[in-house]
Amino acid sequence: MPAPLSAAQLARAVTAGETTPHALLEQAEARAHRTRPLNALVSLNPHAAQQADLVARRVEAGEALPLAGVPVVVKDNINVTGTRTTCGSRMLEVYVSPYTATAAQKLLNAGAVIVGKANMDEFAMGSSTESSASGPTLNPWDHARVPGGSSGGSAVAVAAGITPVSLGSDTGGSVRQPAALTGIYGLKPTYGRVSRYGLVAYASSLDQIGPFARSAEDLALLLSVIAGPDPRDATCLQAPTAFRAGTPDDLRGLRVGVIRESLGGNTPGVDAALQAMLEALRGAGAVTGEVSIPELSHAIAAYYLIAMPEASSNLARYDGMVYGLRVPGADVTEAMTLTRERGFGREVQRRIMIGTYALSSGYYDAYYSKAMKVRRLIAQEFNRAFEAFDVLVTPTSPFPAFRRGEKTSDPLAMYAADVDTVAVNLAGLPALSVPAGFETVGGVQLPVGVQFIAPALSDELLLTLAGGLEGIGAVQLGTPPEA
């Protein structure tokens, strides 16, 4: 696969009349077709050609569009009018969106063309993109391995060159972890930076839409387009939304703190990539040190005790009456029971049950309320760490891509894959996974990611850092073997 052009380059080419939105759409669709065995996309957008037409006319009329004609895919939990939004679930297999999510609408306004919808773990619950009703997504670096999750399809669309950028959602790591496992960038913005309107809710206090890309410039471009206040999402922040990537000069004097708790239990390749990254930062004039955040040992427990109760409440709406699947029954109760039994997969059912249990009277104080206290402590400890450091760093995942099926029968092992990412969502912070190298496993090269965490609303610092790291050659993108 030739190194694909970036979104910024494609938009410039369209604006200069060197190519057309239609030509780019055709290329993306051809690439989607050739990489079909990876199962990155759940559906193609039936209105894509119409969108390309509209963009071509706007460009002709002289409109300056930051994403002129750029093909993109969005995760299948992001509503786009007239497309199926299945959330990887049998429950929504037939659901067609009657409206468009704010983030997707902003892409369209900026001139992007939505090629299709990306595969995902059912209702974004998972770390491997194996639980989708549309079947698993494969890792382009090794087809026997998972691409990470839950936004695995969005990650693979970019890693395998279908589109230069894509959108996923990150509740506990679902953008950063698949980015790491497929060798690209994945950004989880500050909570409230990007509107959640039209994103199908999993755990509303943690969910955030974020971009995948192959360059710091594209990340900055995408975030600038999708960020910003939205009267339809009350948690959306009123904050400036123009972002730019940095240069190596920006790294000088930057104080980078490695979180000590993330240093144990990693594979040798992950440790090596982290150390190489720190070395490169020091070489560029950054100051590195270590910081301890002891409460992180409770992050996984607290995260799942908050995410599952929120999920149990959010998923109550799938009752067979309004959205998607409806299985008839003798009475309303039987119809609801049958619909939820057949519509939801095992992991979703497990989470609804645990979530309901954790919220029930008598257990609320022991579980949900205690988890909320841990959440607050973690946020406080992050703030304390940011007194000594501008940015914190950890591996994105303790290991590179694991084999398909390896963790499907052990939910706790699957949950543990998020050990480095969930705390960031609990604290509402922005974090970026940077492609940082490779680990050779059984003769196969697998990508490894390093995660940078910044204070709330310091999203731009992460883009500055990414641009600087690119400038000093510390980012390792690579191109997967032909699908």
* Nearest distance in Å: CB 9, ligand GLN: 30
Respond yes or no: is residue 407 known to be catalytic.
Answer: no
* Nearest distance in Å: CB 351, ligand GLN: 8
Residue in 6, 75, 166, 407 annotated catalytic: 75
Smallest Cα–Cα separation from 77: which of 309, 314, 301, 236?
Answer: 314
Q: Which is nearer to ligand GLN, 190 or 224 (CB)?
A: 190
Residue in 128, 174, 397, 433 annotated catalytic: 174
* Nearest distance in Å: CB 403, ligand GLN: 17
Residues with Cβ within 8 Å of 177's Cβ and at least 6 positions away in sequence, in order, are 127, 148, 149, 186, 396, 397, 417, 418, 421, 433, 449
Q: In what order do the strands lie in the sheet with 287-291?
A: 41-44, 113-118, 71-75, 165-169, 209-213, 185-188, 431-441, 444-453, 391-395, 255-259, 287-291
Q: What distance separates the 2 farthest-apart alpha carbons in the chain?
A: 71
SS3 355: helix
* Nearest distance in Å: CB 78, ligand GLN: 13
- How far apart, in whole angstroms, are the C-alpha atoms of residue 341 and residue 327? 10
For the chain, the C-alpha Rg in angstroms (whole number) is 21
- How far apart, in whole angstroms, are the C-alpha atoms of residue 301 and residue 303? 6
- How far apart, in whole angstroms, are the C-alpha atoms of residue 105 and residue 71? 14
* Nearest distance in Å: CB 42, ligand GLN: 16
Q: Which is nearer to ligand GLN, 202 or 386 (CB)?
A: 202
Give the CA distances from residue 53 to residues 50, 59, 109, 166, in Å, rounded to whole numbers and listed in that order. 5, 10, 13, 21
Smallest Cα–Cα separation from 400: which of 88, 30, 147, 97?
Answer: 147
Q: Which is nearer to ligand GLN, 27 or 151 (CB)?
A: 151
Bridge partners, 450 (sequence order)? 395, 434
- How far apart, in whole angstroms, are the C-alpha atoms of residue 95 and residue 196? 19
Q: Which is nearer to ligand GLN, 123 or 382 (CB)?
A: 123
Residue in 150, 169, 195, 262 annotated catalytic: 150
Which residue type sits at 124? A
Neighbours of 388 (CB within 10 A): 11
Residue 479, both tokens: 């191109």
SS3 166: strand
**Residue whose Cβ sits closest to ligand GLN:** 174
Residue 102, both tokens: 């704010």
Q: Which is nearer to ligand GLN, 154 or 169 (CB)?
A: 169
Q: Which is nearer to ligand GLN, 146 or 226 (CB)?
A: 146
Q: Which is nearer to ligand GLN, 90 or 176 (CB)?
A: 176
Q: Which is nearer to ligand GLN, 310 or 390 (CB)?
A: 310
Residue 7, both tokens: 């979104």
- How far apart, in whole angstroms, are the C-alpha atoms of residue 458 and residue 376? 20
* Nearest distance in Å: CB 332, ligand GLN: 31
Q: Which is nearer to ligand GLN, 126 or 257 (CB)?
A: 126
Q: Which residues bind ligand GLN (CB under 6 A)?
A: 124-127, 150, 169-174, 202, 307, 418
Respond yes or no: is residue 43 known to be catalytic.
Answer: no
Respond yes or no: is residue 75 known to be catalytic.
Answer: yes
Bridge partners, 452 (sequence order)? 393, 432
Enter the DSSP assignment of 481: P
Active-site positions read 75, 150, 174
